[in-house]
Amino acid sequence: MIELTLDDIARATSGRLVPGRDGSTASTVVEGESQTDSREVRPGQIFFARRGEETDGHRFAGQAVDSGAALLVVEREVDDRVAQIVVEDATDALGALATEVVRRALAAAADAHAADPDRPELTIVGITGSNGKTTTKNLVQAMAERLGPTVASAKSFNNEVGGPLTMLRVSAETRTLVAEMGASAEGEIARLTAMAPPRIGVVLSVGLAHAGEFGGIESTFRAKSEMVRDLPGTAVAVLNRDDPRVARMAELTRARVVWFGLGSDADVRAENVVSDAAGTRFTLHAGGEAAPVNFRVLGEHHVMNALAAAAVGLELGLPLAEVVASLEAATVAARWRMEVMGGRDGVTIVNDAYNASPDSMSAALRTLAQITAPGARSIAVLGEMSELGEFSIEEHRRIGLQAVRLGITELVVVGPEARHLHISAVNEGSWDGESVFFEDQDAAFEHLRRTLEPGDTVLVKSSNAAGLRRLGDRLGETYAVDAEGAES
């Protein structure tokens, strides 16, 4: 974080400063990162005591001070060993401080650039979409780091808490801020873009992820379009040309539009896409140039994320050769996202159970069918797709039917919330495969441990709430090999 005095922070958060017994005063400078989890606090950092649905951060303020917190942002006075800033709402205060830090960082970078045109300004990249945000963010981060100091969302920090925590890591040296911006309701992305106004706004897709919370696909469209609605004419909107709803957003923005996609009308596009168990190969076209890409991230659907990232990298100033080199250096989208594990007896485990929507579930099943060797077995271990609301039953049934039509050898469905997926597959009389259902992960694990055969390829996929990533990890460990190729 850039340096701020306690008085600066109190003003930014509309709070009341209560000096601590440590001798801190209004002029005391704080520059440490901010945390909302007391277990993550390190010396010199700021702890925001948020009240959540299940717990109250004020209960852990003492632990934060014990860990070295230099400042507490609280809704009531709790620990006078260090300075406290008392605010009405700690979550709102977190956002307000992030807004001020980003504003100051942008202003300082602009002043430095005016004095020395060779010194780059701070560029903010905002990324949203129903699927692919974290993968694209990771790819953009790697490209931006080739140009200078970069701050990017940790893990999937993309909401009213994670977004500001990322923004507060910006310092005077930061050249690029890559902010993943998610939402579960209209207005949330607009709040994040107000805190950190993007110069490059990316929209990947508009699908049924979180449709139950949004209230339908049109509400999802309106929410995602908040990324580009307020972009100024000097900004860039990077839009998916192949998604009709995203394409409509070109009419809603004043920004210059850069299209990515597979069609010939995209500014950044892929041709000759070939996918297998080693990743995806394609030819990248942009700006009149073309280059082959050996993209080792598993899953043909990740090509769209790679194209979006390439468009951003080019806008940041990277030459095409460096964009390609960055894409080719990537080996995994992110933890629990098409993560290849196992290997013993030729058994491949693909753990893609960090999250799931109908679109990403469908793409993962297609990938499973593509990468399974001829004559080998494909097993899909599937759990609930959450937050679908009224669309839940229909979409689970559709995925069950798709598994059958793709010729998946066996379907292992886990958890009562996903039962309709199992029923749909069983009711498809033309299928020669089988579907089995288990109430919990332990039963599913024992079944797989007994029945997996050499050469099998196993996909584990579910929403985060279903927790099948742990089942994927267990299977990966069970079928792991060590560096010498022996069983681990």
* Tokens (6 digits) for 149: 């100091």
Burial of 150 (0-12, 13-18, 19+ CB in 10 A): buried
379 forms bridges with which residues in the sheet?
A: 410, 458
The residues, any chain, with a CB within 8 Å of residue 251's CB and separated by 6 or more, are: none
CA end-to-end span of the chain: 43
Pairing assessment for the beta strands 123-128 and 71-74 based on DSSP bridges: unpaired
- Residue 224 · residue 247 · CB < 8 Å: no
**Which of 165, 154, 43 has its CA nearest to residue 94?**
165
Best CA proximity match to 456, nearest among 447, 465, 467, 464: 447
Is residue 372 marked as binding? no
- Separation in Å, CA 69 to CA 25, 77, 127: 15, 15, 31
> What is the rounded distance in angstroms from the CA atom of residue 252 to the CA atom of residue 429?
47
Tell whether 415 is in a known binding site.
Answer: no
Structure tokens of 35?
């945390």
> 133: annotated binding-site residue?
yes
Residue 429: is it exposed, middle or buried by C-beta count within 10 angstroms (0-12/13-18/19+)? Answer: exposed
What distance in Å separates the CA atoms of residue 405 and residue 403, rounded to the nearest whole number?
A: 6
Is 150 annotated as belonging to a binding site?
A: no
Check whether 28 is labelled as a binding-site residue. no
Nearest to 472 by CA among 379, 362, 376, 372: 379
Instruction: Give the whole-angstrom CA distance, residue 161 versus residue 95.
Output: 8
Binding residue per annotation — 346? no
CA dihedral 178, 184, 185, 191 (to 10 degrees): -20
Determine if residue 272 is labeled as part of a ligand binding site: no
Question: Residue type for 439, please?
Answer: E
Nearest of 224, 251, 262, 240 to residue 126 by alpha carbon? 224
List residues forming the annotated binding site for ATP.
Answer: 129-135
Annotated binding site: 129-135
